[in-house]
């Protein structure tokens, strides 16, 4: 039976591309309109896994998704660093000089600022999903509109690439997390070397530094730190950190020490780190 994987967006979106990268293409994609909907699908057992974008090398962290991780208590079993290559897609035969409108997801649009500076006559329309823009052009036979999307969308919806690689920064990556229900026996990760942790600290001088120093002392690499305010509490924050290790013993020792100082500590998942392409 094929694995069911929930994604934000539709087929040929970057989320589906990330799912293919992690699981292979022999999966069943569950299309969802929002990130929350992907989490609801996993919670309600409408899928086996969820793939969720968490940060982009240009646009930064996707903060609402950290809140979803906190609220739904899923287990992170993997990550994918996906190179984001953005193309300008149109119906076959459409010429660039005929184009009036460009449609895509707001984050994709922001990643193409240099292109829009060069062609100020183009009117930009923000949509919910890159692939959905490509699909609409095909279904409605739009000859004055192009989409910014990936090569999967071009192939699936039989569109031509008018301009390739229009993203401003060619070293553009999005990091995706692969989420599972904690009770999924098939989602056990062997030999993990990375973990995502969340915790709070007391509002005293040096309380956060004390915890971060523990990781340093145990030779644990801190690859990411993100803070978010605790709702309804002034000057209190949830800290989300990603840590990497070579010796698991050092990682376990570090956790044992951190627990002395951290409040509301949660290990959100241990997994194999994915090196950037």
- Number of DSSP helices (H) and strands (E) in the chain, helices first: 9, 15
- Least confident among 16-25, 28-37, 225-234: 225-234
Residue with tokens 């956060």: 208
DSSP letters, 203-238, are SSTTHHHHHHHHHHHTT-EEEEEEEEEPTT-TT-EE
* pLDDT category of residue 276 using cuts at 50, 70 and 90: low
Annotated catalytic residues are 174, 176
**Domain 3-83+172-183 shares a fold with domain 87-163:** yes
Quote the pLDDT of residue 81.
Answer: 96
Quote the pLDDT of residue 30.
Answer: 98
Judged against a pLDDT cut of 80, whether residue 203 lies above it is answered with: no
d(CA 111, CA 114) in angstroms, rounded, equals 8
CATH for 194-271, options being 1.10.645.10, 3.30.70.260, 3.40.50.300, 3.30.420.310: 3.30.70.260
Coil, helix or strand at residue 277: coil
Question: pTM of this prediction?
Answer: 0.91
CATH superfamily for 3-83+172-183 is: Periplasmic binding protein-like II (3.40.190.10)
Residue by residue, what is the 3-state secondary structure of 244-256? ECCCHHHHHHHHH
pLDDT, tens digit, 9 for 90 and up, residues 97-117: 999 999 999 989 989 999 999
For the record, the structure tokens of 101 come out as 């409108």
Q: Give the domain ranges of the chain.
A: 3-83+172-183, 87-163, 194-271
CATH for 87-163, options being 3.30.1600.10, 3.40.720.10, 3.40.50.300, 3.40.190.10: 3.40.190.10
Which of 153, 104, 264, 73 has the alpha carbon at shortest distance from 50? 73
In the 8-state DSSP scheme, what is residue 9? Answer: B
pLDDT, tens digit, 9 for 90 and up, residues 139-182: 999 999 999 999 999 999 999 999 999 999 988 899 999 999 99
Coil, helix or strand at residue 148: strand
């Amino acid at each position: 039976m094929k694995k069911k994987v929930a994604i934000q967006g539709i087929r040929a979106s970057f989320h589906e591309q990330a799912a293919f990268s992690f699981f292979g293409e022999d999966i069943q994609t569950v299309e969802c309109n929002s990130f929350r909907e992907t989490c609801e699908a996993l919670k309600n057992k409408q899928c086996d896994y969820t793939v969720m974008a968490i940060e982009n090398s240009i646009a930064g962290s996707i903060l609402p998704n950290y809140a979803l991780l906190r609220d739904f208590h899923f287990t992170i079993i993997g990550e994918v660093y996906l190179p984001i290559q953005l193309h300008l897609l149109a119906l076959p035969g459409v010429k660039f000089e005929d184009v009036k409108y460009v449609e895509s997801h707001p984050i994709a649009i922001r990643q193409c600022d240099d292109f829009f500076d060069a062609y100020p006559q183009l009117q930009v329309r923000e949509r919910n999903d890159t692939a959905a823009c490509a699909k609409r052009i095909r279904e409605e036979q739009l000859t004055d509109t192009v989409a910014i999307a990936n090569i999967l969308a071009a192939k699936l919806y039989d569109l031509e690439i008018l301009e390739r690689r229009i993203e401003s920064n060619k070293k553009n990556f999005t990091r995706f997390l692969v989420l599972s229900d904690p009770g999924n026996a098939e989602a056990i990760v062997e030999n993990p070397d990375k973990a995502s942790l969340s915790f709070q600290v007391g509002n005293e001088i040096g309380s956060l530094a004390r915890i971060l120093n523990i990781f340093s002392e145990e030779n644990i690499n801190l690859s990411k730190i993100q803070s978010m305010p605790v709702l309804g509490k002034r000057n209190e924050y949830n800290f989300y950190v990603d840590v990497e290790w070579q010796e698991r013993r050092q990682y376990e020792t570090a956790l044992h020490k951190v627990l002395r100082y951290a409040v509301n500590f949660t290990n959100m998942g241990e997994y194999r780190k994915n090196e950037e392409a």
